[in-house]
Amino acid sequence: MRWSLDDVPVYVAVVEQGGMTGAAELLGRPKSSVSTAIARLEKGLGIRLLERNSRSQRVTAEGETFYRHAQLILEQAREADATVAGLRADPAGRLTVALPPAFCQEVVAPRLHAFRQAFPKIDLQIVITSHGVDLLREQVDMAVVVGRMVDSDLVTRVLIAGALTCVASPAYLAANPVDEGLEGLRRHIQLCETRYGIKRMPVHVAGQAAVLDLQTGISHVNNPLVVRAAVLNGAGVAPLPRHYVRDQIREGSLIEVQPEVTFDIEASTLSAVYLSRRLMSPRLRAFVDFLAEACR
C-alpha cells in the first residue's frame, strides 16, 4: 500500500499540536478522522510514527525523521502554490543559512545592509560555523562550504574558485630572504589554516607535481583571517586563499612568494550547497544570487 500526501499535513499537525485532539481542533476535523489518517500513513510507510495509548503519545525515532521530511514537503507545496498563484512576487519568509566565519566577515557582512534593503520581507537567520552542517537534520536551507564536495545529494553552486597563494609581509621578506625551491619556501612557513595542515599537500612547482609538508612544526588555526593578520604582522610565509589576500597584494601590504608554486584549485573553492533545485524557494534563490554577485 502506498501512502498519500494528503495525510502528511495531518501528521505534522499531530506532532506540532502534541496529540490527536489538538490536531483535530486545528484542522477542524473529527478526532476519528485524524486517527484514521495517521493509521493509514503508518500502514503506507510501513513504520510506526507514534507510540500512543489512551493517555499519551510519543513520536518514534522514525517518526522524527519523517516529520523533518514532512516539513520540507509542506514547505515545497506552499512555495509551489504561492508561485503558481503569483502570491510571492517578493521573496519572503524565514531563511536559515550556515556560513564560514571568514567568508561571513569578509564577503557577507559588508553587504548585509544592501541585501536587507533589496529583500526586506526575508527573515534571514545566519549561523556562523567552521564545521560542516547536516542541512536536513539542522534545518538549514543553505550552507557555504570550503573545498571539494562529495555529497551527491546536494546541489552545488561554486561561488569562488580561487587557489591558494603563499604570501608574506614586505618587512619579513626584507629581513628573511626566501631561497628558491620548495624547501626554501617550506622553511619560512610558520602557520597555516587547519584545513590545509596535512603531511602531503599536493602542489605543482613550475608545472611539476610535488608535495609540501604543512603539518610538521607548523602552527594551525581554523580561520584564514587570523592567519592573514599574523602574516601581516611578520609571522613568516603562509598559504592563503587568494580571495582573502587580493586587496592586500594590490596595496602592497602582502607580497606573493614563489608564485610558481601552485596548489590544487579545489583546496580553497567556496560553494553554496542546498538540498534541491526543484521548487527552489524565491528567498533561497535571492540569497544564492546575492552571494554569487558578492563573490563576482
Please state which of the four CATH numbers 3.40.50.2300, 2.40.110.10, 3.40.190.290, 3.30.365.10 is assigned to the domain occupying 164-268.
3.40.190.290
pLDDT tens track for 172-204: 999 999 998 899 999 999 999 998 888 988 888
* Conformational region of residue 258, where left means phi above 0, alpha means psi within -120 to 50, and beta covers everything else: left
What pLDDT does 3 receive?
86
pLDDT tens track for 152-163: 567 888 888 878
Q: What whole-number distance in Å separates Cα of residue 286 and Cα of residue 146? A: 21
Q: Domain coordinates of the chain in residue numbers?
A: 5-85, 93-159+270-295, 164-268
Pair type for strands 164-168 and 255-256: antiparallel
E strands present in 84-205: 93-99, 122-128, 142-146, 155-160, 164-168, 191-193, 201-205
Query: H or E element: which one contains 239?
Result: strand 238-241
What pLDDT does 146 receive?
81
Long-range contact set of residues 227-232: C-beta below 8 Å, sequence gap at least 24: 227/191, 227/192, 227/193, 228/254, 230/191, 231/167, 231/168, 231/169, 231/172, 232/169
Instruction: Please provide the size of the chain in residues.
Output: 296
* Domain 5-85 belongs in CATH node 2.30.30.60: no
**pLDDT exceeds cutoff 80 at 277:** no
**pLDDT exceeds cutoff 80 at 1:** no
Q: What is the mean pLDDT of residues 213-226?
A: 93
Q: What is the mean pLDDT of residues 166-175?
A: 96
Grid coordinates representing 132 are 560542516
Average pLDDT, the chain: 87
Better pLDDT: 4 or 78:
4
What pLDDT does 229 receive?
97
Contact 263, 192 (CB under 8 A): no
What pLDDT does 218 receive?
94
Nearest partner of 101 among 225, 238, 268, judged by Cα: 225
209 Cα distance to chain centroid: 31
**Helices and strands, number each (H, E), in the chain:** 11, 15
pLDDT tens track for 55-81: 778 899 999 999 988 888 888 777 776
Any idea which residue has 521530511 for its cell?
69
The model's confidence at residue 221, banded by pLDDT at 50, 70 and 90, is: very high
Q: What is the mean pLDDT of residues 124-130?
A: 89
Nearest partner of 144 among 114, 116, 106, 117, judged by Cα: 106
Q: What whole-number distance in Å separates Cα of residue 137 and Cα of residue 91? A: 24
What pLDDT does 247 receive?
92
SS3 assignment, position 188: coil
Q: What whole-number distance in Å separates Cα of residue 150 and Cα of residue 80? A: 29
What pLDDT does 49 receive?
92
The model's confidence at residue 82, banded by pLDDT at 50, 70 and 90, is: low
pTM value is 0.63
Q: What percent of the chain has pLDDT over 70?
A: 89
Grid coordinates representing 33 are 478522522
Better pLDDT: 265 or 199:
199
Distances (CA, A) of 53 to 50, 56, 58: 10, 6, 9
Q: What is the mean pLDDT of residues 110-117?
A: 94
- Do domains 5-85 and 164-268 share one topology? The answer is no
Distances (CA, A) of 194 to 100, 215, 218, 238: 13, 9, 10, 12
pLDDT tens track for 24-50: 999 899 999 999 999 999 999 999 999
Query: H or E element: which one contains 56?
Result: none
Contact 164, 122 (CB under 8 A): no
> For residue 96, which amino acid is it?
T
Q: Is 292 exposed, middle or buried (0-12, 13-18, 19+ CB in 10 A)?
A: middle
The model's confidence at residue 135, banded by pLDDT at 50, 70 and 90, is: low
What pLDDT does 178 receive?
93
CATH number of 93-159+270-295: 3.40.190.10
Q: What is the mean pLDDT of residues 109-123?
A: 94
**pLDDT exceeds cutoff 70 at 280:** yes
What pLDDT does 54 receive?
65
Residues whose CB falls within 8 Å of the CB of residue 6, separated by 6 or more in sequence, listed in order: 37
What pLDDT does 124 receive?
94
Q: What whole-number distance in Å separates Cα of residue 87 and Cα of residue 282? A: 11
Q: What is the mean pLDDT of residues 205-227?
A: 91
